[in-house]
């Protein structure tokens, strides 16, 4: 079965493109490129770009791009989606150009999140990525740009969609205590992978307005996490989760507020998944230590 191979690009609809241009370059360390039609493109590795930001009032995800190997795999995926009753349309030449891909198809996940699959990303090996900040760069390659966490309406339907139609595998679940919930309120998050990155997407029926909760960028050095943590604080950027290490992917990270209100996880040192040996796990806490502000601390047993 042809499955998606990585989270390849992310489209965002943002109210303040100028704020994003500055934030992306000066804080995240991404390279800003002027794209067609006034779009802001962000580069992080050998791909020409992996983020497409367009002016809009949503301040939320505009589309999620999943990579497949080639035209044949894209055709197989389109047929499988259509066979399951999902409406699939072909992306236009202009849409392919904006994303820097050869061809794409467009559809929606069960919660209505605009979702795309593509092959043939535009690469820029001839001009190596150079971060505008003094950081060591991002862990991407075949693991994709990072991960996203999205709010879904029905986790069971989403699991079916991402596993049985897109071909992803379950990594684990976290039964997470809600930030402002009653002590008994828990939130179940499902984490899914399509390559060695522990998860490329996680989802749950999160009580929030936006679809996109956060996206994660993984850097190559712990020092890049530490320096960015303090840089963000020096610049007055709200820290929504302090430094910490996650229980499931073992990522050491922190969370900061983006100009669009959703959060960005900036991390280092996650463990990877080997499908030959990985067994689905469950967790009751999101973090081994830290990440203060992200969730209520677990209560000690009465």
Return the range that interacts with Fe ion (CB under 5 A); candidates 78-86, 236-244, 258-266, 277-285: 258-266
Task: Name residues contacting Fe ion, limited to 139-168 (CB under 5 A).
Answer: none
* Nearest approach, Cβ of residue 200 and Fe ion (Å): 11
| 138 contacts 182 by C-beta, under 8 angstroms | no
* Nearest approach, Cβ of residue 150 and Fe ion (Å): 11
* Nearest approach, Cβ of residue 243 and Fe ion (Å): 14
Nearer of residues 101 and 148 to Fe ion, judged by Cβ: 148
Q: How far is residue 125's CA from residue 46's CA, in Å, rounded to a whole number? A: 6
Asked if 217 touches Fe ion (CB under 5 A), the answer is no
Return the range that interacts with Fe ion (CB under 5 A); candidates 5-13, 16-24, 132-140, 261-269: 261-269
* Nearest approach, Cβ of residue 291 and Fe ion (Å): 10
Nearer of residues 3 and 248 to Fe ion, judged by Cβ: 248
Instruction: Please choose, from the candidates 180, 204, 184, 183, the residue with its C-alpha nearest in 3D space to the C-alpha of residue 192.
Output: 204
* Nearest approach, Cβ of residue 285 and Fe ion (Å): 14
Site residue total, Fe ion (CB under 5 A): 2
In this chain, which of 28, 216, 219, 256 binds Fe ion, going by CB under 5 A? Answer: 216
Asked if 265 touches Fe ion (CB under 5 A), the answer is yes
Return the range that interacts with Fe ion (CB under 5 A); candidates 4-12, 40-48, 80-88, 213-221: 213-221
Nearer of residues 86 and 187 to Fe ion, judged by Cβ: 187
Return the range that interacts with Fe ion (CB under 5 A); candidates 102-110, 121-129, 180-188, 265-273: 265-273
Return the range that interacts with Fe ion (CB under 5 A); candidates 41-49, 55-63, 209-217, 218-226: 209-217
* Nearest approach, Cβ of residue 176 and Fe ion (Å): 12
* Nearest approach, Cβ of residue 206 and Fe ion (Å): 12
Q: How far is residue 280's CA from residue 282's CA, in Å, rounded to a whole number? A: 7
| 12 contacts 60 by C-beta, under 8 angstroms | yes
The residues, any chain, with a CB within 8 Å of residue 22's CB and separated by 6 or more, are none
Nearer of residues 22 and 179 to Fe ion, judged by Cβ: 179
Beta bridge partners of 111: none
* Nearest approach, Cβ of residue 18 and Fe ion (Å): 27
Nearer of residues 15 and 285 to Fe ion, judged by Cβ: 285
Nearer of residues 174 and 216 to Fe ion, judged by Cβ: 216
> Footprint of Fe ion on this chain (CB under 5 A)?
216, 265
């Amino acid at each position: 079965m042809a499955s998606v191979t990585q989270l390849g690009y992310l489209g965002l609809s943002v109210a303040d493109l100028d704020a994003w241009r500055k934030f992306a370059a000066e804080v995240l360390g991404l390279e800003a490129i002027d794209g067609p039609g006034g779009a802001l493109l962000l580069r992080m590795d050998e791909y020409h770009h992996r983020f497409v930001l367009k002016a809009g009032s949503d301040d939320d995800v505009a589309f999620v791009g999943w990579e497949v190997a080639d035209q044949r795999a894209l055709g197989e995926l389109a047929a499988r989606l259509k066979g399951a009753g999902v409406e699939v349309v072909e992306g236009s030449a202009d849409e392919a150009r904006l994303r820097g891909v050869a061809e794409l198809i467009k559809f929606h996940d069960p919660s209505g999140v605009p979702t795309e699959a593509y092959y043939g990303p535009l690469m820029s090996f001839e001009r190596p990525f150079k971060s505008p900040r003094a950081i060591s760069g991002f862990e991407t390659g075949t693991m994709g740009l990072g991960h996203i966490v999205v709010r879904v309406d029905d986790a069971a339907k989403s699991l079916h969609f991402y596993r049985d139609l897109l071909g992803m595998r379950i990594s684990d679940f976290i039964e997470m205590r809600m930030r402002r919930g009653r002590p008994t309120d828990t939130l179940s998050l499902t984490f899914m992978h399509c390559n060695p990155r522990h998860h490329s997407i996680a989802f749950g029926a999160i009580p929030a307005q936006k679809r996109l909760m956060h996206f994660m960028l993984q850097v190559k050095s712990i020092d890049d996490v530490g320096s960015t943590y303090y840089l963000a604080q020096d610049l007055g950027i709200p820290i929504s989760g302090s430094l910490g290490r996650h229980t499931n992917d073992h990522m050491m990270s922190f969370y900061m507020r983006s100009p669009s209100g959703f959060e960005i996880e900036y991390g280092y040192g996650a463990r990877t998944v080997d499908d030959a040996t990985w067994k689905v796990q469950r967790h009751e806490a999101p973090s081994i230590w830290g990440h203060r502000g992200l969730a209520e601390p677990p209560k000690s047993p009465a």
